[in-house]
């Protein structure tokens, strides 16, 4: 008797859930239609390729296909973790990602706050446009620029150091400078484009909050601290969580183009 009642309640709950889903689809059909291209893109380019992960557990042979080859289980993982460079690779990957997060994450927020405080529309748009441009420069070009600026003989940085009495140094051959170069160039390349979402969030804040604060004689710093930052806090938290998901993801191209045998101790990462 009791078991039959539970089955009936479960059936009713399932029917209610199906009804709510159908009702939501009918009510928000245009929103779901707008979401459909994004869903298709993620499914094709991110979820379907995940089937290729099986290669990590097989003795892959060219021509045999992704699912060909002998199943070897955790052989390659054991080989990696038992290698002499496993700790170095994991350490470098983690530290570069961590430094990029610590130093790179606040910059777009600060820039967005500063840019929204500029009252001249032309000046504001000009600065925004200039800040977006590095995002569209290819990694190869960015690395070429870094090498030109930091060149020991003709680099702009070493020329300036020489003029102020500091001995020039080969930055690209020093292990202690690689992470600084990688992180700072990454911040320069991405901070403008990353600030777009923060600028949009700041523009969406109710102006009456600022007007009330000004009537009470609040300073500009307190205005930002007590109004702007709390109002965009949900956006900051969401983007921070999303970036935490990539804490062990360091791209191949930039590291590979920048590093050399002299700085492998700090430059070699899992992807290279």
pLDDT tens, residue order, the chain (272 aa): 555 545 555 566 566 777 788 888 888 888 888 989 999 999 999 888 888 888 888 888 877 777 777 888 888 889 988 988 899 999 999 999 999 999 999 999 999 999 998 888 899 899 999 999 999 999 999 999 988 988 877 778 888 888 888 888 888 888 888 999 999 999 999 999 999 999 999 998 888 888 888 888 888 888 888 889 999 999 999 999 988 888 888 888 898 888 888 888 888 888 88
In a domain, 106, yes or no: yes
In a domain, 127, yes or no: yes
Contact yes or no for 181/103 (Cβ under 8 A): no
Provide CB contacts within 8 A for 52, sequence distance 6+.
66
User: How many other C-beta atoms can be found within 10 angstroms of the C-beta atom of residue 265?
Assistant: 12
Specify the CATH number for the domain of residue 216.
Answer: 1.10.3720.10
Task: Tell me how many domains the chain contains.
Answer: 1
pLDDT at site 40: 94
pLDDT at site 7: 56
CA dist 175 and 153 (Å) reads 19
Predicted TM-score (pTM) of this structure? 0.80
In a domain, 71, yes or no: no
- Of 236, 153, 166, whose CA–CA distance to 201 is shortest? 236
Structural domain for 123, as ranges: 84-272
CA dist 249 and 251 (Å) reads 6
pLDDT at site 13: 59
The beta-carbon contacts of 204-213 under 8 Å, at least 24 apart in sequence, are: 205/231, 205/232
In a domain, 18, yes or no: no
Angle at the Cα of 177 (from 173 to 179), degrees rounded to 5? 115
pLDDT at site 37: 92
In a domain, 145, yes or no: yes
In a domain, 28, yes or no: no
In a domain, 137, yes or no: yes
């Amino acid at each position: 008797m009791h078991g039959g009642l539970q089955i009936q309640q479960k059936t009713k709950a399932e029917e209610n859930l199906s009804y709510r889903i159908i009702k939501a689809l009918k009510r928000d059909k245009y929103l779901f239609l707008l979401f459909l291209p994004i869903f298709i893109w993620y499914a094709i380019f991110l979820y379907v390729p995940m089937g290729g992960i099986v290669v990590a557990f097989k003795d892959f042979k060219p021509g045999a296909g992704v699912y060909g080859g002998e199943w070897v289980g955790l052989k390659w993982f054991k080989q990696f973790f038992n290698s002499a460079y496993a700790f170095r690779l994991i350490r470098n990957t983690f530290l570069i990602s961590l430094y990029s997060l610590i130093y790179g994450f606040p910059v777009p927020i600060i820039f967005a706050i500063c840019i929204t405080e500029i009252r001249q529309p032309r000046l504001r748009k000009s600065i925004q446009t200039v800040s977006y441009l590095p995002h569209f420069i290819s990694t190869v070009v960015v690395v070429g620029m870094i090498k030109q600026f930091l060149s020991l003989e003709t680099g702009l940085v070493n020329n300036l150091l020489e003029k102020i009495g500091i001995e020039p140094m080969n930055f690209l051959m020093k292990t202690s400078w690689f992470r600084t170069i990688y992180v700072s160039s990454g911040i320069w390349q991405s901070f403008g484009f990353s600030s777009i979402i923060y600028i949009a969030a700041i523009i969406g804040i109710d102006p009456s909050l600022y007007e009330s604060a000004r009537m009470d004689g609040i300073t500009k710093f307190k205005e930002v601290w007590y109004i702007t930052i709390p109002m965009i806090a949900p956006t900051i938290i969401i983007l921070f969580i999303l970036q935490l998901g990539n804490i062990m993801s360091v791209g191949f191209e930039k590291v590979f183009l920048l590093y050399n045998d002299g700085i492998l101790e700090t430059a070699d990462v899992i992807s290279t």
